[in-house]
Structures are given as C-alpha cells and as structure tokens.
C-alpha cells in the first residue's frame, strides 16, 4: 500500500507537527499529544475536552477552537489516548468553571476518561462527562459494550461548545450535550476497508463488488454484507435504519459524512438521495453538512447522522465556530 508517511511509528507525531505549523491559533504539544486552543483557559468558561484514536480526522483535533472544543487528546491510530493526556488537557483548559469530557462509546476511551476524571478531581478540577452512543447499526461490537459513538460526536461538540462559549454553567453544558446525543442516530456504510499505517494492508476483508452495511469507524462489522448497491439503495437502507430508531417530531440536523476516501462528487449525490427520502417521510431538514468529518483513514463509504433539534439547539448550532475543521459566522 502507498501511504504519504515516513514510518508508521512516527505518523501521529508527524501529523501533529504539521498541524502546529498550519494552525498557530492552536497550542500543539507533540510530545505529550495534547491540542489546546491558544487562548485557554478562558476565564469563567467551561472547558470541553474530547479525544480518541487518530485516523478519524478532523475529529477531534480539527474541532479545537472558539465555539467548539477547548482541547483534544489524540491517541495512536485507532487506539485510545491515555489518562495522562486527558489530565493535561483538563488542567490546560480549566478556568475554575469545570471541564466537560466528551467520550465516544469505545471501551478504551471510556475507561481512560473515567480514570482521568478521577485524577483531575483529585487535583481540584470539577469534571462532568457525556457518553456519545449514536450508532444504530449494532448493539455491541469489537470495541464497545452498547452502541458505538460516531457522527453525533460532531453535533455534541459543536452545540455544547457554543453553550460553553456563551458562559453556560457546567451542568447546563452537560445537559445540552446529553440532549444532543439522545436526539441523534447514525448509520455507516463501507465500500472498501481502511488501511492502518502499522499494518500496511486492509484491516478487514471486503471482496470486490461487496459493501458492509452498518460498518463502524474502525472497520467493525455491521449488520450484513451485500453486493454493491446504488446510491439510492444505500441511502434507503441507511435512512430506514435510523428512522426505525428515531421518530423526529421536529426538524433535524443532517450530516452526510465521508469515511475518508469518498470524493465530494459522490457525497453530494448521496446527500441528494438522503434528502429525497427524508422529504418523502415528512422529516424536515433544518441544516445540512456534507464532507469528511468523522473518518476512518482511507475507507471508502459514508455515514448518515440525524439530530432532532428545537429552536435552542438550532441557535447553538448556528453560533459562530472557528476551528480547523469547522468554521462559520466569524
């Protein structure tokens, strides 16, 4: 496999050095693997910390900045960061108003963030947590007990980040984050397997002419494999799976997310099919985001995430944000 890297052992450090050079508005600690907005801690504001294995960029480091995360902790590829990283991040962004940990539901992330929360509280930092578990494809997987955390992570980080930016207290920011997670559902489809730098070959076997319905962002198995389907058929399967579990009674945010190797030409076409189906089912779409946001290295495919919103959640979604991966209103 051809990859634009030096050696597998330094791929995360090399990426962080490049990120630091491209984004002077961030403080990137390459050695300790922590990315912090340069103006942190912001006086009187709740700090938001998230993180996870590398390979899902721009999640999470690309979402650090005003209106979103205060800090992010990148682990090795598809590997949870360690509690020391999370503790450093919490200390760097704590202004005395508390810190919210946003945790995707993967066993390593959950255990390490729990341990980091205990260590932070021992140092006098008030911690709250929210678990993201929006994937309807499967109940348990290779990496999780319960549903996986996927595309809704972006919605949680953006809306909670906007509330924190406005000075909302920790309990309110946590409640909003939980509301967003509970109002969100996702479903992903893989057209090809991804390749980790360490392995140098596809992480799972997906024969030519087949796709995986309900795949996880680390290549975890989904609901079933089928012969290749059209964009319309994939959209129908994905939307049906989500609406089986979510019955929106108000408008939704829609994320049509690329897994890393699918071009925008295809993603926009896929979005057209998803929008058509939602229209036929009477689900109004308030806002749409199309692109690569929660990726899986070089996997071809896409995921769909819906989040039911009220006026307040929509207002917070529209609030200004200035990060490497998401930016508007500034």
Catalytic positions, please? Answer: 56, 218
Whether the CB-CB separation of 179 and 250 falls below 8 Å is answered with no
Structure tokens at 323: 């990060």
Give me the count of residues in the chain: 330
Distance CA 231, CA 211 (A): 12
DSSP string over 190-246: ESS--B-TTT-SBSS---TTEEEET--TT----SEEEE---HHHHHHHHHHHHHTT-
Closest by CA to 18, choosing from 49, 70, 52, 57, is 57
Distance CA 161, CA 287 (A): 18
Distance CA 153, CA 243 (A): 19
Whether the CB-CB separation of 98 and 45 falls below 8 Å is answered with no
Residue 42 has a CB neighbour count (10 Å cut-off) of 17
Backbone angles phi, psi at 51, to 5 degrees: 170, 175
Please list, in sequence order, all residues whose beta carbon lies within 8 angstroms of the beta carbon of residue 142, skipping any fewer than 6 positions away.
Answer: 216, 218, 220, 221
Distance CA 144, CA 194 (A): 19
Residue 325 has a CB neighbour count (10 Å cut-off) of 19
């Amino acid at each position: 496999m051809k990859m634009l890297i030096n050696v597998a052992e330094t791929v995360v450090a090399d990426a962080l050095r490049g990120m630091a050079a491209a984004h002077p508005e961030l403080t990137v600690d390459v050695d300790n693997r922590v990315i912090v907005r340069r103006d942190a801690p912001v006086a009187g504001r709740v700090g938001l910390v998230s993180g996870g294995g590398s390979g899902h960029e721009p999640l999470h480091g690309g979402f650090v900045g005003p209106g979103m995360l205060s800090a992010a902790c990148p682990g090795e590829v598809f590997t949870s960061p360690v509690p020391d990283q999370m503790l450093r991040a919490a200390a760097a962004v704590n202004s005395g108003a508390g810190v919210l940990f946003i945790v995707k539901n993967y066993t390593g992330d959950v255990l390490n963030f729990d341990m980091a929360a205990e260590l932070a509280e021992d140092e006098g930092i008030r911690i709250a947590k929210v678990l993201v578990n929006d994937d309807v494809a499967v109940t348990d997987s290779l990496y999780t007990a319960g549903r996986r955390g996927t595309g809704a992570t972006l919605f949680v980080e953006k809306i909670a980040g906007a509330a924190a930016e406005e000075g909302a207290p920790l309990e309110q920011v946590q409640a909003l984050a939980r509301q967003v997670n509970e109002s969100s559902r996702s479903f992903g489809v893989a057209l090809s397997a991804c390749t980790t730098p360490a392995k140098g070959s596809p992480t799972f076997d997906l024969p030519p002419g087949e796709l995986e319905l309900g795949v996880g962002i680390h290549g975890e198995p989904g609901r079933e494999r089928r012969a290749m389907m059209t964009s319309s058929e994939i959209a129908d399967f994905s939307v049906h799976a989500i609406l089986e579990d979510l019955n929106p009674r108000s408008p939704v945010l829609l994320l049509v997310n690329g897994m890393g190797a699918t071009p925008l030409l295809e993603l926009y076409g896929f979005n057209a099919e998803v929008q058509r189906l939602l229209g036929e089912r009477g689900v109004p779409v308030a806002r749409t985001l199309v692109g690569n946001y929660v990726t899986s290295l070089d996997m071809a495919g896409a995921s769909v995430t819906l989040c039911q919103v009220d006026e307040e959640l929509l207002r917070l979604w529209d609030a200004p944000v200035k990060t490497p991966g998401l930016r508007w209103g500034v």
